[in-house]
Structure 1
Amino acid sequence: MPHKMIASDEKPLHLKKGKRIECNGERGTVLYVGEVPPTSGVWLGIEWDDPSRGKHDGLHEGDRYFQTRHPTSGSFVRPLKVDFGRSFLSALKDRYREIKGDDTYGVDPTKLSQLKRELNVRFIEIVGLDQVNKIQSCLKDLQVAGLRDEKISKGDQKGLISEECPAIQELDLSRNLLSDWITVAEIVAELPCLRVLNLSENLIQVPDDPESISHCFKSLEHMVLGKMEYSWDDVMTCIKMWPNIQELQIPSNNISKLATPPLLHALQSLDLQANPIGDWEEVNKLGILPGLETLNVSEIGVKVIRFPEGHKTSLFPSLKRLIVQENKIEEWVSISELNKLTALQSLRILQNPVVDMFDTRTSRQLVIARIGSLTNLNGVEIQAMERKWSERDYIKQAATIKLRMKIPDKDFIKIHPRYAELVEKHGEPEEGELVLSHTTSLSSTLIDLVICSPQRPGVKISKKLPKTMTVQRLKVLVNKILNFNDPRCLGLKLTNPKHPGMEINLDNDQKSLDYFSADTGDVVVVQQSTER
């Protein structure tokens, strides 16, 4: 039997569906306000941020009061037990208090170290944080305000904020109790100098009419929206509120699919870190942004980087800085693809399998040689002499691999697209610089291989195997050695520490090791796939 909710004109202002609350240190969202028979009085139906905090999904004693996303994230709480938050100025004055004996305001010394930690969390980079530990002459001169985790849920009487603190340029409102963009707009509208706003970890509902409040955000240039549970469509709706946005950070959201953005042509910097995107083709949809100079796509799960066919790409015409750290990039061809970017100068690519398979120095040389425009790699400047010797060593390695594998020219260029350009620049390597292995004894039909897998860290097995062994038989052997579930789900790749950049996919189960030019000293890298 459905139960009647209290009419809106019968409720106190704070008792409304969608409001954010805190109770005993736990955060949640109000989804129901009304009676829960047979008890009397008002109850709040809460969806808790932590699903283990609740007891049900809004179905109680056979009646549906509300619906949560998780089966155990809902429960009922009396209003008197709930903290509905406080106003912006209440929090501001509490954190930036008057120092006794001096007519100045400043950061409470007992909170300063905490404040600096809060504002410097990994996925948030706000300009000018060093100003926080400078004593401000008064609230009217305060330019950087850190109000993280202050239970702010509302603004103040119109005109009070602009009177008390009109000079704020950078504002951190992360992890508060803000629930709607109207409230945010009311606060921001009274901060005419605001350039940077951080609203991370507030579960704010996407607005129905974003254009109607866009005038409130006209001074805003940099927005941070981490851990908001937003999709790309949600972000594209919100972007209509920020007509002059230049830098957008939206890490750790629910963004898996991207689309060509129609309203981001002024954007210079975009942070998509730790979103479950997975496919580089989605990233390429952002390539039409004419002014985008910095792109952070670390921790998004990509394995392969590809751009359209051609020597250079028209995508990302202004991109100077690219961050692809902590992904799953496995092949050097993906690194060579980045050479197609016409403006790329700085790259961060640490913690990817492709660079982790070699020592830091070798991996650095290979990346430098494959991307001609780089001036900075992983935060370290590339000197002219370093580039010269990286490229010369790369030519020797590539030429050795070409001779050993007998690769046709057209296939070799696909793997090493800069080779001809570098040979023209530095000249062909001398014959004596190419090191090829020769086996002439009766045992030459056997080769020593090392078997390893990134999914079995620390395990390296040496095996003497016949060149005539097929890939299919090798998979069965590897499956037994490394204890994988199914040899059919294994992918094998041949590499060699002495020839960095050599990658041969053992992609035909019926072919022999000799067919793939396997030789003593090669390493078989094993990867278990979830697909069959």
Structure 2
Amino acid sequence: MSFFLYLKNIQINMAATEVLGRSFSDALYERYCDFESTFDDLKNDCDIVFFVGSSPKQTESGLILNASTVVLTDERISHVGDSRAVAISCSHVELVDISSNAFSDWHEISLLLSSLPHVKTINLSFNPFPSNLHILPVELQWPNLNTLCLNGSHIGLEMIVELLKKTQNLEELQICSNDYTKISSDYGFQHESLKRLYISNNNITDWQSICRLGHLFSHLETLIASDNPLESFRSDDDVNICLPYLHTLSVDKVQVSEWDDIVALTKLPCLNALRIHLTPLLKPYQKDERFFLLLGYMKNIIKLNGSVITANERETSERRFIRYYSQRDDKPQRYFELTEKHGNLKPLVDIKIRAPYLINVRLIYNQITYDKEIDVRQTVQQFKKYLHEIFQIPLTRLRLFYIDDFAFSMGVGGPEELKYPRRVLHTYNIHDGDQFHVDLKPDAPKPQHSNRTADITQRNKKSTDGNTTNSSTSSDDDKTNISIEISPFSFDSLQKLTEEKSTNNNNQTTTIELDYLYPSIDKNIEIKVNDDDHDDDLLLAAAAACNNIKTK
């Protein structure tokens, strides 16, 4: 019967299909061979559709997949369906992933594996297999199977052994998350081809069970046993016999708590790669301490926690191991072995080459003194804000001076003002006992305004009077009608002062006492005045006096 003829009969067996779930052949055709299905049919209530592999080719016997991998996870597959169509379609397939489906019958699994003669890897994880033992036919064999994944399937170890008898060439077995607690020693079987075993996330507590796995798999090379509550790596079994070829071991997240357990691992003759992180034994130590202690104990390790160990790292770790135990009474045997190799090493002197960042200084302001510990990693601006909070003085008026106490006492240094807000304090080379003096900037002078209205307004008014020809002949009525506040720098004041101080000699120096004009000025300004000074000259003198006041 061809693959298409089988599909025509699916409707007849629809009721049985609903009860048993989908068949492997049905799911295979829909995923890889159904070219007439619409996109909505392919979506099957999913938001994303993956198109895997190239198109199958049609032959006289049926469709043959060109892909070497078939992935049908979470498809509710419970049985094989048309085993002949499966064998033809998957004649080139080497890897099949049917994890998280509904397989529960070992007859269907046996039929599926027999229908996939060239498959090397099959993932049957997270299928609801029965935990009881099912005896498979004696003639049944799957010689091409290389990797078998049964994670989370809760298959009993007796059934695992039954499957191993049918897969004599199996090299990798994954049986993680199956709630195993103990490994028995009376299986009466030994698998000689298995090299890699994954048994993580179970409930194995004793190392003896691990050794029994070594008896079951006599040529085991890699053992991944992390996330098991192993309490020790010691047992009465001789690891030279049960695990003679083991070179890679992962025992992360176990419960060992003594260095003697690490010493026990050194008895594994071929062990050279170890992964161990989270354990009660290593928790009190820093990362670098864990590294050199583990390397110090395990002389044959060339790869630790995924990192390849160099010759320099090996020597450095062994020397640190010697120095670590040289000050302790509980010296292990490994310590004496390493002292014979490197000699008795004295502890290294702990020299701190970094500058301290907390300095005790004295803060002084207006006869108020504080002894404070400051962090010299802060900037000048941050330090001034700190002083502003201590002394309650305006930040905009704060001036800060640094005095090196030692240099000042030797007479070779004086106060240095801290002017640059972004400069870090430690760049001033501050030491304990140095001083910081706080000062206030003077208040900015307040500008004093004068009313410069009098004579200019009066003169402008008089110049517009058509009946008046000269400012000296203005009427008294005009003067009384205009209320004017006379400024010290008005035209009349300056003229009067000039008349009082002037002399009859040309280019004679005249001194204007500014205190007469402006009481706050204590300086004299000398102005050269000619006999025939005009009004503009007096105004220039007033401007010079004002400018001098402003600059002061």
**Category of TM-score, reference length = shorter chain:** 0.5 to 0.7
Aligned-residue CA RMSD (Å): 3.4
Name the aligned partner's letter for residue 279 of structure 1: D
Check the 8 A contact 2:133/2:156 in 1, yes or no: no
Check the 8 A contact 1:255/1:276 in 2, yes or no: yes
Check the 8 A contact 1:182/1:213 in 2, yes or no: no
Judging changes above 3 Å, is the alpha-carbon distance between structure 1 residues 179 and 279 closer, same or farther for their aligned structure 2 residues?
A: same
Deviation at 1:166, TM superposition (A): 0.8
Judging changes above 3 Å, is the alpha-carbon distance between structure 1 residues 231 and 189 closer, same or farther for their aligned structure 2 residues?
A: closer
Aligned to 1:300: 228
Query: SS of the counterpart of 2:245?
Result: coil
Aligned to 2:339: 423
Name the aligned partner's letter for residue 107 of structure 2: I
Deviation at 1:287, TM superposition (A): 3.0
**How far apart in 2 are the matches of 1:14 and 1:253?**
35
Match of 1:212 among 129, 138, 160: 138
Judging changes above 3 Å, is the alpha-carbon distance between structure 1 residues 191 and 304 closer, same or farther for their aligned structure 2 residues?
A: same
Check the 8 A contact 2:33/2:56 in 1, yes or no: no
Query: SS of the counterpart of 1:141?
Result: coil
The answer to which structure, 1 or 2, has the higher relative contact order (CA under 8 A, 6+ apart) is: 1
Q: How does 1:350-429 map to 2 (within 5 A)?
A: 350-402=277-329, 407=330, 412=331, 416-429=332-345
Aligned to 2:177: 252
Aligned to 1:268: 195
**How far apart in 2 are the matches of 1:235 and 1:328?**
27
**How far apart in 2 are the matches of 1:113 and 1:351?**
38
Higher relative helix content: 2
Check the 8 A contact 1:365/1:390 in 2, yes or no: yes
Deviation at 1:87, TM superposition (A): 1.2
Check the 8 A contact 1:112/1:133 in 2, yes or no: no
Q: How does 1:436-447 map to 2 (within 5 A)?
A: none
Aligned to 2:449: none
**How far apart in 2 are the matches of 1:327 and 1:297?**
9
**How far apart in 2 are the matches of 1:147 and 1:356?**
43
Query: SS of the counterpart of 1:418?
Result: helix
Judging changes above 3 Å, is the alpha-carbon distance between structure 1 residues 146 and 266 closer, same or farther for their aligned structure 2 residues?
A: same
Judging changes above 3 Å, is the alpha-carbon distance between structure 1 residues 135 and 351 closer, same or farther for their aligned structure 2 residues?
A: farther
**How far apart in 2 are the matches of 1:240 and 1:182?**
16
Judging changes above 3 Å, is the alpha-carbon distance between structure 1 residues 242 and 14 closer, same or farther for their aligned structure 2 residues?
A: farther
Check the 8 A contact 2:74/2:99 in 1, yes or no: yes
Aligned to 1:238: 163
1:93 matched to 2:19? The reply is no
Name the aligned partner's letter for residue 219 of structure 1: N
Rg (Cα) greater in structure: 2
Aligned to 1:221: 146
Superposition TM-score, scaled by structure 1 size: 0.55
Deviations 1:422-458 (A, max 9, x none): 222222223x5599xxxxxxxxxxxxxxxxxxxxxxx
**How far apart in 1 are the matches of 2:134 and 2:66?**
35
Deviations 1:329-375 (A, max 9, x none): 22222122211111111111122222232222221221111111111
Deviations 1:116-142 (A, max 9, x none): xxxxxxxxxxxxxxxx96657665222
Deviation at 1:252, TM superposition (A): 0.7
Aligned residues: 325
Name the aligned partner's letter for residue 244 of structure 2: P
Superposition TM-score, scaled by structure 2 size: 0.53
Identity %: 27
Check the 8 A contact 2:252/2:277 in 1, yes or no: yes
Aligned to 2:269: 342
Check the 8 A contact 1:207/1:238 in 2, yes or no: no
Name the aligned partner's letter for residue 220 of structure 2: L
Deviation at 1:314, TM superposition (A): 3.7
Deviation at 1:246, TM superposition (A): 1.5
Deviates more, 1:359-368 or 1:238-247: 238-247
Deviates more, 1:222-231 or 1:282-291: 282-291
Match of 1:197 among 114, 119, 122: 122
Check the 8 A contact 1:251/1:272 in 2, yes or no: yes
Name the aligned partner's letter for residue 417 of structure 1: Q
Judging changes above 3 Å, is the alpha-carbon distance between structure 1 residues 315 and 401 closer, same or farther for their aligned structure 2 residues?
A: farther
Aligned to 1:172: 97
Check the 8 A contact 2:65/2:92 in 1, yes or no: yes
Check the 8 A contact 2:168/2:193 in 1, yes or no: no
Query: SS of the counterpart of 1:179?
Result: coil
Q: Where does the alignment leave 5 or more consecutive residues of structure 1 unmatched?
A: 1-12, 16-78, 101-106, 116-131, 436-532
Deviation at 1:196, TM superposition (A): 0.9
Aligned to 1:26: none
Deviation at 1:14, TM superposition (A): 9.9
